[in-house]
A and B are shown apart, each in its own frame.
Chain A
Amino acid sequence: MKVIRYFAVALDSIRANKLRSSLTMLGIIIGVAAVLTTMGIGSGAAASITQRIESQGTNLLSVNAGGGGGSTSSTLTMGDAEALSDISLHPALLVVVPEYTASATLTNAATDSQSQVVGTSPAYAVVRNLEMAAGRFFDEAENDVNERVLVLGNTVAADLFAVADDALGQQVRVNGEPFMVVGVLAESGSAGFGGPDSRANVPIGVAQGRLINAPRYRGDYTITGLSIQADGTRMDAAELQIEQTMRLRHMLGPDDENDFSIFNQASLLEVAGEVAQTLTVFLGSIGAISLLVGGIGIMNIMLVSVTERTREIGLRKAVGAHDRDILLQFLIESLVLATIGGLIGMGISFGLAFAVGRIPNFPFSVIIQPQALLLALGVSSASGFVFGIYPAMRATRLDPIEALRFE
C-alpha cells in the first residue's frame, strides 16, 4: 500500500521534470534498441546460414574428383559410383548418386543463359532435398534411355522465361541440342553461385555423351563428383567406408595422397556455426558499445541534475522525509524510467525487425533472442539505476541544511 504512494511521488517527480526524465530514458532507449537490433541481425544471419546448409541435408557427403594436390585429370568414374552403391560393403551409405557437371549455354529463342549443367540420376533430387515448383524431376526410365529432358533451377528458368513456371513443357537448347523442360525447381533459398537455383539437371548419360563428351578413364566415363546420402548417425563410418573403397579402386599406395576429396555437410555446418557465433559476438560488441554510450548519456543527465536533486532532497528532509523515503523515491523513479525506456527500446527494435522482414529479397530476417533482451534490459536499467541512485545516496547522508545549500 505504501509502495503505491511512493510510486505516486516518483511519477510526480518524473512528470515535473519531463526533459530530464526523457533524456534519461533516451539513453536507455538507444542502448536497448541498439543491442537488440545488432544482436538480432547477428542471430538472423547465423540462422540463415545454418538453414541454408541444413536445406542441403546434414547427412550429405560429397565426393569430388581431385585431391588436395590440385590434380586436374579426373580419375573418378561411374565405376566408383557403382562400387560405392554396394550396400553390403558400405552399410553406412544409403544412396550414391553420380554427377557430371559442366558449363553449358542454354538458349530459349533469343535468350541465352550460361549455366552449370548437372548430369545425374533421379535420386539426386532426393539426396539434395530438391523441391519442385512445377512439373517433376526426370525419372529412371528417361535416365536409362538418355532422354533429352531438362529440369531447370529456379533462377535459370526465370532467366530464360520471364516467369519461371512458364518454362514447363517448353523446348530449351543446351549447347545447341533441343531438350524438353519437364520440371522447374522451387527456390532453394541458397541464392548465389553454385546452389541448385542456378543449375540445370539432365540425365547423366546425356551429359557425358551427347552434350559434353566426357573423358573416359579405364574404359569408364569420368564423373566430377558423387552426392552420397549417408546414415546420419554414422557419418564418420561412412567417410571411412568411402575412403577405403576409393583408395583400393584407385590403387593408391600407403604413401599416396587421396586423388579425391570427401566433403561433409555436417562439418561445414559446424564451421558455419562458428562463423555465425563470431558474427553474433562481433555485432553484440557493437551493441554493447552503444549500450555504454547510452549509459554515459544517462550518467551525464544524472550528474547535471545532481545540484537540483540534492537541494530537492534537502527540502524533502527538512519537511520530514526519512533517509529510506528518499532512497525509495529515487529507486522507484529510476526503475520506472528504465522500464519505460526499455519497453520503448524493445518496441523500436521489434519495429525494425518487422520492417526488415518486409524488405523484398533481404537475405535474412532479424531474430531477437530472449537472452539479448535480458542483456539489454539488464544493463540499461542497471546504468539508469546506478546513476540515478548514486547522487541520492550521497545527498541522503548530508544534513538537510548542507543538502539545501548544495552548489
Chain B
Amino acid sequence: MSKPIQAGDGSVLVIEIQDMTKTYLMGLTEVHALRGVSLTIRPGEYVAIVGASGSGKSTLMNMIGLLDRPTSGSYRIRGEEVSDLSRRRMADLRNREIGFIFQSFNLLARTSALRQVQLPLFYAGTPGGQSKQRAADALERVGLGDRINHRPDELSGGQQQRVAIARALVNNPSLLLADEPTGALDSKTGEELLLLFDELHSQGMTLVVVTHDDHVAHRAERIVTLRDGVVISDEPVIARAPTTRTPDDPAGDAQPA
C-alpha cells in the first residue's frame, strides 16, 4: 500500500439526508429500519456510523450507496434528489462516484482477482487494455500484485477483503463506503486497512465507515450513533480537530456543545 491513491473530484460530492425512513416488510410484520434520519456529510469528511445491531446503520449505508431507495424523506447527492433519479443515472453514480466495501466482500465466485477488479471499469466503458492495467495497478496498491490470477477460494479472508477494496477504489470514486470493513480481518490486517483509509482521507476522499468497533470509529473525524433507526448522537472525535457543523445539520444542533 505504498503508492498514493488519487481520489476523484471529491469536492463536489455532498450528501444531504432529511427525515429519511425505510420500512421493510418481513413476512407480515413491518420493520422500521430507519425512522427519520437527517444527516449531512460534506466533501472530504471521514465519518463513522456506529450503533448496536438492528439500529439501522447498515440500512443507512445502503441508502447512501444508492443500493436501496428510502420509503420516505429526501436524499440529495451532489444536489440531485435521489427519488428523481433514473435507474440508469443511479447505476452511473454507483459506478463512478461511489466505492462500496461490503462486510461479506461479495466477490464473484470462481473469478480471478483481476476480473473482479475490472468489473467497475467494464461498466464504465474503459477499454480492455487500459482496464487490465488499472485493475492490476489497484491490486498492486493493496498488496496483491502477485495474486491477480487467484480466485476467491485461493485467497485468505484478508486478501479477499483487499480484492474488494481494490474493486471499490479502481474507478477513483469520491465517496468510499465500508460496511464493517475490519469485521473479518485480524488486527494487523485491520490496522493496515485503517492506515489506507487515513491515506485516502488525507487525499480528499469522503469516507463513511459503518462499524461497531470503537477503535475503528475513533479513527474517523466524526461519529454518528444510531439507535432504533434514529440518530441519537453526532459528534466530532475529540482527538481530532473539531469540525464545524453545517447550520442545516439537525443532528449537529442536537448535540451538547
Q: Which residues of A contact B (CB under 8 A)?
A: 2, 5, 8-9, 12, 16-17, 308, 311-312, 314-323, 325, 399-402, 404
Residue of B nearest to A324 (CB): B88
Q: Are B123 and A320 in contact (CB under 8 A)?
A: yes
Chain-A contact segment, one of B43-51, B103-111, B136-144, B229-237: B103-111
Q: How many residues of B contact A (CB 8 A)?
A: 30
- Rounded to whole angstroms, the CA-CA distance of A16 and B106 in the bound complex is 16
Q: Are A317 and B91 in contact (CB under 8 A)?
A: yes
Residue of B87, B102, B108 near A16 (CB, 8 A) is: B108
- Known contacts A317-B94, A323-B87: does B111 contact A5 (CB below 8 Å)? no
- Rounded to whole angstroms, the CA-CA distance of A322 and B120 in the bound complex is 11
- Contacts A8-B128, A320-B123, A323-B87 known; list 6 others, CB within 8 Å: A16-B109, A17-B110, A315-B106, A318-B94, A323-B91, A399-B69
Binary A-proximity of B57-81 (CB < 8 A = 1, otherwise 0): 0000010011111000000000000
Closest Cβ of chain A: how far from B152's Cβ, in Å?
11
Q: Are B88 and A322 in contact (CB under 8 A)?
A: yes
Q: Which of B91, B100, B106, B123 has the most CB of A within 10 A?
A: B91
Closest Cβ of chain B: how far from A396's Cβ, in Å?
9
Q: Which residues of B contact A (CB under 8 A)?
A: 62, 65-69, 87-88, 91-92, 94-96, 100, 102, 106, 108-111, 115, 119-120, 122-125, 128, 167, 171
Q: Which of B95, B125, B167 has the most CB of A within 10 A?
A: B95
Q: Are B67 and A319 in contact (CB under 8 A)?
A: no
- Nearest first, the 4 closest Cβ-Cβ pairs linking A and B are A320-B95, A401-B67, A320-B123, A16-B110
Residue of A17, A314, A325 near B123 (CB, 8 A) is: A325
A contact patch SS? helix
- Rounded to whole angstroms, the CA-CA distance of A274 and B108 in the bound complex is 57
Q: Are B92 and A320 in contact (CB under 8 A)?
A: yes
Across-interface contacts of A17 in B (CB, < 8 A):
109-110
| 29 contacting pairs across A/B (C-beta < 8 A) | A12-B111, A12-B115, A16-B109, A17-B110, A308-B109, A315-B108, A316-B119, A318-B100, A319-B94, A319-B100, A319-B167, A320-B96, A320-B120, A320-B171, A321-B91, A322-B92, A323-B91, A325-B123, A399-B67, A399-B68, A399-B69, A400-B66, A400-B68, A400-B94, A401-B62, A401-B67, A401-B68, A402-B68, A404-B102
Across-interface contacts of B167 in A (CB, < 8 A):
319
Residue of A308, A311, A400 near B67 (CB, 8 A) is: A400
Residue of A nearest to B106 (CB): A315
Across-interface contacts of A318 in B (CB, < 8 A):
65, 67, 94, 100, 102, 106
Q: Are B91 and A322 in contact (CB under 8 A)?
A: yes
Q: Are B95 and A319 in contact (CB under 8 A)?
A: yes
Across-interface contacts of B65 in A (CB, < 8 A):
318
Residue of B nearest to A396 (CB): B87
Across-interface contacts of A315 in B (CB, < 8 A):
106, 108, 119
Closest Cβ of chain B: how far from A334's Cβ, in Å?
18
Across-interface contacts of A9 in B (CB, < 8 A):
122
Residue of B nearest to A15 (CB): B110
Q: Which of B87, B88, B128, B167 has the most CB of A within 10 A?
A: B87
